[in-house]
Amino acid sequence: MDIRHLTLMLFLIGFSASSAYDDTWTIQVSPEVRTIEGYPAVLPCSFTHPTHTLHSSMNVVWRLGHARTSTVLFRCSSLNGSQQCETGPDQDQRYRLEGNHREHDLTLRISSTGLQDSGRYYCSVELPDQLHANYENKMGTRLRVEAPPRILSLSIGGSADTRLKALCQVQGSPLPDVQWTGLDEVLDAVNEAAPRSQEAPDRHKTTSQLLDIQPGGQYTCTASNPLGNDQATVYILPPSPEMSQINNTRHDTLTVPLLLGLALALKLLLFLGGLGVLFIKSQVGSKNQDHSNE
């Protein structure tokens, strides 16, 4: 094989590879983006397309979630080669296109993120002039919004007549660890299992229960994760003397009738016993008198 045939073969192979690449739409995204609650998040997305494709009109769409459960968060349209991608009147202003779609950059910016923004995002390109022309990266981008622990509530449940328990509800990402202490002693608690699914609405919240707490005790709930910690303390008042007197009065109110009833029953028994003794004596006396007469 001479040099001309070899050169022609390499050219054809290169042309075929280039043609195959040019006939493919590709969407490039970052697998994961992290930010802290209250700060913005930037989700990179870019695309390539076949060189012969005309896309003077296009729609840019960002969704949270996939398939039927997805929610459209951002949508803009660029018609007739316009350099502007116009959004609708109902577009949430927290979302805006950071990149230039005409330069194949669909990067999305989310301002003032919250824990509810965590999830998997998908960017896509729609071509209105072509039927069913919708190109999307199937893996998406995982957005993780992190937040320091925050104690949402600290409350007391149950009653003194049954069992008192303390409830501490905390929030944070990563999900905080919860520890209870009382008088500088670490106490055992029951922690509610966190939702396993990353899409669960309460995946950043958990509740810890401290059982069998006692009046007059002081209990502290501490929540911590790598971003910090939060702490709250509850003090359970002991029963007041007035309440103790009321309880004693109630007890006496129940006890006195019971004692009176027992006393009356005892007197009745003694009375009946006395009658029985008199009856027996009278019977014995009658028998003795009969024998005397004989």
Tell me if 124 sits within 8 A of 108, measured CB to CB.
no
> Which carries the bigger pLDDT value, residue 244 or residue 192?
192
What's the pLDDT score for residue 11? 35
Lowest mean pLDDT among 20-34, 179-193, 275-289: 275-289
pLDDT digits (tens, 9 = 90+) for 109-158: 999 999 999 999 999 999 887 777 888 888 999 999 999 999 999 999 88
Three-class DSSP category at 46:
strand
Q: How many CA atoms lie within 13 A of 55 on its CB side?
A: 24
pLDDT over threshold 70, residue 37: yes
**Range ranked top by mean pLDDT from 6-20, 83-97, 179-193, 198-212:** 83-97
Residue 113 tokens read as: 């993120």
Q: Whole-angstrom Cα distance, residue 99 to residue 77? A: 14
pTM: 0.69
- Split at pLDDT 50, 70, 90, the class of 180 is very high
- Of 23, 232, 199, give the one whose Cα is nearest residue 119: 199
Same fold, 23-139 and 147-235: yes
The topology under which CATH files domain 147-235 is Immunoglobulin-like (2.60.40)
Residue boundaries of the structural domains of the chain: 23-139, 147-235
**23-139: CATH homologous superfamily?**
Immunoglobulins (2.60.40.10)
pLDDT over threshold 90, residue 76: yes
- Hey, which bits of the chain come out as E strands? 26-29, 32-36, 41-43, 45-48, 58-64, 71-78, 86-87, 95-97, 108-110, 119-126, 134-136, 141-158, 164-173, 177-182, 185-187, 190-191, 205-213, 218-225, 228-235
Count of C-beta atoms within a 10 Å radius of residue 168:
26
